[in-house]
Structure 1
Amino acid sequence: MPGWMRIWLRAGHQHSDRDSFCPIRIANVISLIMLLTLLLQLPASVGYWTQGGSGKALLIGIFACLTMLTPLFNHWQRHKLAVYWLSLIYFIYISASTLYLGNQSHVQIFLLLGILLLPTLFSRQTKLEIYLFQTTYALAFIVLNSIETQGVSADYQHFLRPANWVFLVASFAVCAYFIQRNLEIDRRRLDEERARSDELLSNILPDSIAERMRAHQDTIADFYAEITVIFADIEGFTHLSRQLTELGLVRLLNELYSEMDQLFLSYGLEKIKTNGDGIMIVCGAPLALADHAWRACEVALRMQQLFSDFAQRHHLPNRLRIGIHTGSAVGGVVGLHKFSYDVWGDTVNLASRMESYGEAGKIQVSLATYQLVREHFIFEPRGDIDIRGIGLQTTYWLVGHKHSEP
């Protein structure tokens, strides 16, 4: 493409504008097509100079110069003026040419092309403006097509009719290609945005819940007869946060939780929420798993080792406190803005107490969880502890493995 064409097409267009149907670019494209169409008619006007071609050449020269103002207006950031200007001079040129040459030349049919292009040209204007211009073009076509105008000589008109049809078909073909190309770009971008949206939704919600959200299910709430809930907390986090910068603290937590996310993913657990130094994970919801208690205990032991390695790597004195409980719960999506998937109920509350009433560097397990996995792990009885608001609870320390699998 010649350099002047690239300058013409890019006039006033910001490269950051990803809108494929950008009226700035469309106005530049249409004005360039119009200019080239005008110039292609010059040889015929010269050939029929004495039979009306001289007047046609004058019209071509005038409107070719007027067309060049469109990219200039866009370059000067007068984008709305460029759109109105191009629409107006196109309308005047077609109408003037029809009156001069006669309606038997069929120049007026180019108004139909204008009606097709106006919605893309006015894509950032109001519908009223589009309808107003389209109505004007349509009325002008009807009037020019119905009135009898003598125009230029019959020979020149006879030559112009097939030439105008050729120009019209070529113009429609170019415009159809341009519209189709932009529609393909829009579809590709829409697919990319949909994929990005799906990925974001999957990062926020469990996959099965995300699928139900995409299906526009109004309310998502489920009862889970038995799941296992894990709470974990970094001991001494407040003191640690005072020693690090904000950026350093975020980077540290991001590294830790990223490693943990991989662990949860590999065992089919769902991270429900993080709260700075605290984290809540469930197993068996929303995807039912028969061995949810074993998976939870296995992950808890691996979390303990992962955090120990992490703390040693970063020279941290902190330890991880973990609590686990098994029982029934309710889960669902809550909120409209910044919604989230959550699990709640007595099971969640007791799992939280297992963590908060535990000890740093240890994993405290409720009786319900212990009874499900005692054949697979080593436990040390802690005895009964009085939990505020709940009462006496028999708990155990999860120490290690008996077997690697249930």
Structure 2
Amino acid sequence: MTTIYYRTLNMLKSLPGIRLIPGFNTLPSDITTENLRFYKLSNLVLTLGMFTHASWICLFAFMGIRDLTMINVASVAIYIFCIVINRKGYHFTSSVIMVSEILLHQYFAILVFGWEAGFQSYIMVITLFPFLMPKGRWLLKLVILFSSITVFIVYQINFKQATPSYHFNGDFLLFLQIMNILFSVIFLAASGGYFNMAMHQTEELLNKRSNELLEERNKSEQLLLNILPQETATELKESGRAQSRYFEMVSVIFTDFKNFTQFSESLSAEELVEEIHAYFSAFDRIVAERKVEKIKTIGDGYMCVGGLPVANTTNAIDAVNAAMALRDFVQAEMERRKAEGKRYFEVRIGVHTGPVVAGIVGINKFAYDIWGDTVNTASRMESSGEQGEVNVSQTTFEHIREHFNCEKRGSVAVKNKGAMEMYFVRSPKK
């Protein structure tokens, strides 16, 4: 149906003289989306009506019926005028003039040819028009609708048995009747086809917008998941806030690049950011594969934790596995860069196990974070460690001793904490 509509419209555009009508093939610059559909439909109907009357001009002029010839000339002029003012934004005015012309025109046609010629069928066509108009102006629409019905009834009562002004044989009247019914059906089909096309276009547009919104929503959710743990993000979406939670046992990992200052002095700011991004992107993948949650980066430091947001009893093992994988990655990068004569990072890693409170802080640029002495102690494990080593506290060691070979370091002085027992993790036990 859409294809038929466009083919009809393109055919009309190609007819001689149609491009001379101001506004036929252009849209008003200030037309609203609401009026656009009706503008196109009314232009199509007006154009079909104009050429219908033009065909009657040829027929009636050939038959020598001068009064009907002149009436149809006037009708063509009225339709051209309606197209022009429709282009200027007077959509309802154009419609009222067109409807009035149809009602009046059929009066003269019925007087001349009688009821059998079928000119009254055009009156029934215009009863559809109010339902295709833009929303609003309900009184005007009702006036058009009931006026059309009333005029049809009045014409039928007064003219159905009346004697026409001209007398024609039955075959010619049958021809006129068929032509009038055919033109009426064409008008209805064109209007219905356009309405069907507009509905499909609207549905396609709505589906497209819906898919775009769904895609944007998925992007937003994915972005939120990149900032928050999944459980926290879900709680935030469902209730508008996320409650802080106490975790009895988690294992916090801190990493720090030992020679960051010297490394950064040899690079531009852009190059330094690219290097840090490459390392931390690899860190993200490594910890995610080992059930460890990234918390944040602090300069050249990286902080993550095992055992939240879903509590578990294997978090110390998970954290040490992740810490060793981080160490091995940095060591491999160091060897590769050494062979290529490039600068490289060295890393210290510290792990401590204990209780924390986790939650979201702030309103703008909020962040998921953890608090507690466990966090401070894990930071001290990192700063008290050595390059290329995973340094763990006594508490963490007690949870992993059955799974990893560790080297006892003894008591090490820790700032603001005194002496603490520490261990270097060497390898997993077989």
TM over 0.5: yes
> Alpha-carbon deviation of 1:32?
4.3
The alignment status of 1:378 with 2:405, answered yes or no, reads yes
The corresponding residue for 2:375 is 348
The alignment status of 1:338 with 2:346, answered yes or no, reads no
The corresponding residue for 1:292 is 315
The alignment status of 1:46 with 2:54, answered yes or no, reads yes
User: Match of 1:41, as an amino acid?
Assistant: G
The corresponding residue for 2:330 is 307
Instruction: Go from structure 1 to structure 2 and tell me whether the alpha carbon gap of 1:221 and 1:53 turns closer, same or farther (over 3 Å shift).
Output: farther
Instruction: Go from structure 1 to structure 2 and tell me whether the alpha carbon gap of 1:145 and 1:30 turns closer, same or farther (over 3 Å shift).
Output: closer
Aligned 8 A contact 2:323 2:349 in 1: yes
Aligned 8 A contact 2:45 2:191 in 1: no
State the alpha-carbon separation in 2 of the partners of residues 63 and 231 from structure 1: 78
State the alpha-carbon separation in 2 of the partners of residues 222 and 276 from structure 1: 27
> Alpha-carbon deviation of 1:282?
0.5
Aligned 8 A contact 2:352 2:396 in 1: yes
2:388 to 353, 361, 371: 361
Aligned to 2:239, the other structure's residue is in SS state coil
Task: Name the TM-score, length of structure 1 as normaliser.
Answer: 0.76
> Alpha-carbon deviation of 1:227?
0.8
2:282 to 256, 259, 266: 259
Instruction: Go from structure 1 to structure 2 and tell me whether the alpha carbon gap of 1:32 and 1:100 turns closer, same or farther (over 3 Å shift).
Output: closer
> Alpha-carbon deviation of 1:35?
3.2
Aligned 8 A contact 1:269 1:282 in 2: yes
State the alpha-carbon separation in 2 of the partners of residues 319 and 185 from structure 1: 51
Instruction: Go from structure 1 to structure 2 and tell me whether the alpha carbon gap of 1:187 and 1:44 turns closer, same or farther (over 3 Å shift).
Output: same
Q: Mind listing any 5+ residue stretches in structure 2 that lack a counterpart? A: 1-5, 14-23, 58-67, 105-122, 160-175
Aligned to 1:290, the other structure's residue is in SS state coil
**CA RMSD of the aligned region, Å?**
3.6
The alignment status of 1:37 with 2:45, answered yes or no, reads yes
Higher deviation after alignment, 299-308 or 214-223: 214-223
* Bigger Rg, which one: 2
2:417 to 355, 368, 390: 390
Higher deviation after alignment, 30-39 or 373-382: 30-39
Aligned to 1:316, the other structure's residue is in SS state coil
Higher deviation after alignment, 323-332 or 376-385: 376-385
Aligned 8 A contact 1:226 1:326 in 2: yes
The corresponding residue for 1:97 is 98
State the alpha-carbon separation in 1 of the partners of residues 36 and 146 from structure 2: 33
The corresponding residue for 2:141 is 141
> Alpha-carbon deviation of 1:188?
1.3
State the alpha-carbon separation in 1 of the partners of residues 265 and 78 from structure 2: 78
The alignment status of 1:239 with 2:266, answered yes or no, reads no
State the alpha-carbon separation in 2 of the partners of residues 12 and 48 from structure 1: 31
State the alpha-carbon separation in 2 of the partners of residues 245 and 90 from structure 1: 64
State the alpha-carbon separation in 2 of the partners of residues 347 and 56 from structure 1: 91
Query: Per-residue CA shift, 1:263-295, capped at 9, x if unaligned?
Result: 112111111101231000111100223211111
The size of the alignment, in residue pairs, is: 355
> Alpha-carbon deviation of 1:146?
5.1
The alignment status of 1:270 with 2:293, answered yes or no, reads yes
> Alpha-carbon deviation of 1:322?
0.8
State the alpha-carbon separation in 2 of the partners of residues 37 and 260 from structure 1: 67
Identity of aligned residues (%): 27
Aligned 8 A contact 2:347 2:387 in 1: yes
Task: Name the TM-score, length of structure 2 as normaliser.
Answer: 0.72
Query: Per-residue CA shift, 1:21-54, capped at 9, x if unaligned?
Result: xx88887666444433332223322344428543
State the alpha-carbon separation in 2 of the partners of residues 99 and 264 from structure 1: 78
State the alpha-carbon separation in 1 of the partners of residues 223 and 186 from structure 2: 55
> Alpha-carbon deviation of 1:207?
2.1
Q: Mind listing any 5+ residue stretches in structure 1 that lack a counterpart? A: 14-22, 70-84, 117-133
User: Match of 2:414, as an amino acid?
Assistant: I
Aligned 8 A contact 1:98 1:108 in 2: no
Instruction: Go from structure 1 to structure 2 and tell me whether the alpha carbon gap of 1:105 and 1:332 turns closer, same or farther (over 3 Å shift).
Output: same
Aligned 8 A contact 2:249 2:353 in 1: yes
> Alpha-carbon deviation of 1:11?
8.3
1:221 to 244, 266, 274: 244
The alignment status of 1:60 with 2:79, answered yes or no, reads yes
